[in-house]
Amino acid sequence: MSSYVRGQILSRPRRAQMQQKYGASVEEEMLKSLLKLFIHQERKFVNLVIEGCNSKRACCFTDAFVELEAYQKNRFEEPIPDRHGVFMTDIIDTAILERFISSGTEAVDLHHVEPFLAMLDFIHDRRRHGKAICKILKNSGETPVTVALTEHLFSQLLTSKNYRVDSFSKDLPKKCPCGCNADIKSGTTSMGSRFTWHGRVDVLLNQTIAVHTLKEGDDSSAGDTPLNTQDTEDLETQDLQPVAKKPKVVGVNHKKGKDPLYNLHVLDQIVAETVTNGFSQVGKQASLSDLLIPTLGTTSEYFTIFLYDPVNDILLQDTLRFGIWEYPEDAKLNMFSVVCLWLFLNFTSFVLKTSKWRNEVETVESQFHKIMDRKLERYKEISTESSPLHMHQTLKEMESSYGEILDLTCQRIKKD
């Protein structure tokens, strides 16, 4: 019996459970409303082009340098084209969402039972998770942000609930500090190779998605513009123009300024992690080819989503950050942001293959392939779990764990 057929058979009782628990429930209604909002919103990803970077030099993420430009078709022509970037709805399989909106849990096909169940469970427990995150965030530092959001938000939206926090994180607790007694899972989060950008990411979700966490006040470059470019600033301003039919997205803060997610050095690191992880994942699982692989950058208040397809060399970032809170004082999560997060964290279920949407939406390559030129092979050879052993490695290095080798090379000092 093929694993596909076996999966289908196993999913049937799970679907029955889901229907029994959530059929005609308030959670089902809420998810329908959120998906309706998703389908009618007009949030976009900006199509990023790398003008220059130090990816050939094989440095650690903390030393990565990336000069970005936002691609904009006919940018100097009048009238200004009304379409910039890629709508979220361009790259998400909205047919699945439409079916849920019309028929709820009954319409969920066997392939999508687990992700829908994860989202419905989260909606059911949203207040508990919101309070748990707030409780943990009362402690200062970067690790509480990592632990709170990983344990009580990101991993909850995954079907596997699987994650790994960098075991070198400062003061990493063994149990969740909210009092729920969950084990905080940690381990090596190294990626890349000695011939590429490399280092440890803060969290690996499902061994696939990298997360870069920051605490508020990490900003050290007041006055930086978002995404390293003035052009993106223009794009953002246009995005902020009132659009009559655009529904109000609750809780998304439009203010700019001292936010670590707009810090140029932080963005350099996240882009390097996004690209490196993209290649790692495709190197490890060929089924991820032709897909945009997400990487998150997050503070306790906002997150941003980067997407990179290493096969087609497409790099995207959401144009506005997503607000995590609707009413932070009441520990009330912004459920629209949570739904967007859920769709992208479960990208293998909801994001369309790039070859399916790319003919409809004009995009350009990030130029990473062109910059790497013949050395692109170095990136194609890496994978997250283990690195191919290179001839130059000594026996001693081969005996050490891959993570240790990278740590030695990298000498990454955690921010504290």
- The window from 172-180, 191-199, 220-228, 292-300 that contacts Zn ion (CB under 5 A) reads 172-180
Tell whether residue 178 is a contact of Zn ion (CB under 5 A).
yes
Question: Sign of torsion, CA 345 348 349 352?
Answer: positive
Nearer to Zn ion, 105 or 155 (CB): 155
Tell whether residue 282 is a contact of Zn ion (CB under 5 A).
no
Using H for helix, E for strand and C for coil, what is the string for 85-127?
CEEHHHHECHHHHHHHHHHHHHHCCHHHHHHHHHHHHHHHCHH
Q: What is the DSSP letter of 328?
A: G
How many Cβ atoms are within 10 Å of 242's Cβ, its own excluded? 5
- The window from 125-133, 323-331, 337-345, 392-400 that contacts Zn ion (CB under 5 A) reads 125-133
Contact 30, 168 (CB under 8 A): no
Token digits of residue 406? 């990278």
How many residues sit in the footprint of Zn ion (CB under 5 A)?
Answer: 4
* Residues 130-149 close enough to bind Zn ion by CB under 5 A: 132
Out of 108, 176, 191, 275, the only residue in the binding site for Zn ion (CB under 5 A) is 176
> Which residues fall within 8 angstroms of residue 319, CB to CB, at 6 or more apart?
43, 44, 45, 46, 85, 232, 235, 236, 239
- The window from 23-31, 40-48, 70-78, 176-184 that contacts Zn ion (CB under 5 A) reads 176-184
Nearer to Zn ion, 132 or 272 (CB): 132
Q: How many CA atoms lie within 13 A of 152 on its CB side?
A: 30
CB of 251: closest distance to Zn ion in angstroms?
23
Nearer to Zn ion, 178 or 376 (CB): 178
- The window from 137-145, 171-179, 205-213, 367-375 that contacts Zn ion (CB under 5 A) reads 171-179
Tell whether residue 351 is a contact of Zn ion (CB under 5 A).
no
Tell whether residue 180 is a contact of Zn ion (CB under 5 A).
yes
Strands (E), 172-215: 186-187, 190-192, 198-200, 203-205, 209-213
- The window from 96-104, 129-137, 290-298, 397-405 that contacts Zn ion (CB under 5 A) reads 129-137
CB of 139: closest distance to Zn ion in angstroms?
13
What whole-number distance in Å separates Cα of residue 335 and Cα of residue 242?
22
CB of 179: closest distance to Zn ion in angstroms?
7
DSSP codes of every residue in 148-165: HHIIIIIGGGSSS--EEE
CB of 176: closest distance to Zn ion in angstroms?
3
Residues in contact with Zn ion by CB under 5 A are 132, 176, 178, 180
